[in-house]
Amino acid sequence: SRLRVSEAVLTSAMESMEQEPAFASTESMEQKILQADRNMLEEALLSVIFKKPSLAKFLKNSPPLKDNFYAKVLDVLMKQEEFSLNRLAEVFPAEEKMKIEFLSLKSQELWNEVEEKNLENYLNLMANKLNRDELVSQLKEINYKIKEAEKEPSKEKLSVLMAQARDLGDRLAKFQ
């Protein structure tokens, strides 16, 4: 059967569709990283390590991953001298092996067209965003505690919390 739409109409419709920029484009990738939620960042971070395992060493001073599965994967990866998907999968129960496979496929999909020299930059950007987000979260918690402490007669607790807030603020400024 034939379509009853002229070629001109199809061409016009295709041209009017928004073209998504190439995923490997540096600007769009940086924007995606900065807008990603924590779970997506942790997954993307691991996928970079799957793509280029030698980059795992850059995460030694990063805050722990919040997702228990991702944290365990990263821990196992950090202990491996040479990356092996099979050895990695051996550590996990059968139901989690599919997640490992998914991360591997995600790595190939996400970073396929990205030059290897840019992977370290993206990894650092993700790690910095995770650090920054963690510090912001801690700062919010401290600010809540400060408001509660302001209601109490003793100001010792308040001064300790204020010092903690200043410290967190100073650490956060390093990531801005």
Percent of the chain with pLDDT over 70: 84
Q: CA torsion sign, 167 to 172 to 175 to 176?
A: negative
Q: What pLDDT is attached to residue 63? A: 73
pTM of the model: 0.71
pLDDT of amino acid 22? 36
Binned at pLDDT 50, 70 and 90, residue 142 comes out as very high
Look at residue 27 in the predicted model and tell me its pLDDT.
57
Task: Specify whether the CB–CB gap between 33 and 45 falls below 8 A.
Answer: no
- What is the Cβ-side half-sphere exposure of residue 155, based on CA atoms within 13 angstroms? 0
Mind listing the pLDDT tens digit for each residue in 148-167? Answer: 889 888 889 889 999 999 99
| H-assigned helices in 2-155 | 7-16, 26-35, 38-51, 68-79, 85-90, 94-111, 116-150
Nearest to 176 by CA among 128, 110, 107: 128
Would you say how long the chain is, in residues? 176
For the record, the structure tokens of 174 come out as 């390093």
* Dist CA 62 CA 84 (whole Å): 23
pLDDT digits 0-9 by tens, 2-59: 444 445 554 555 554 444 333 444 557 788 887 888 888 888 889 898 888 888 888 8
- pLDDT at 140 exceeding the cut of 90: yes
Exposure string for 55-64, b = 16+ CB within 10 A, e = fewer: bbeebeebee
Q: What is the pLDDT of residues 71-113, one digit of tens each?
A: 898 888 888 878 888 888 888 888 888 888 888 888 888 888 8
Q: What are the CA-CA distances from residue 19 to residues 8, 52, 172 (Å)?
A: 19, 29, 37
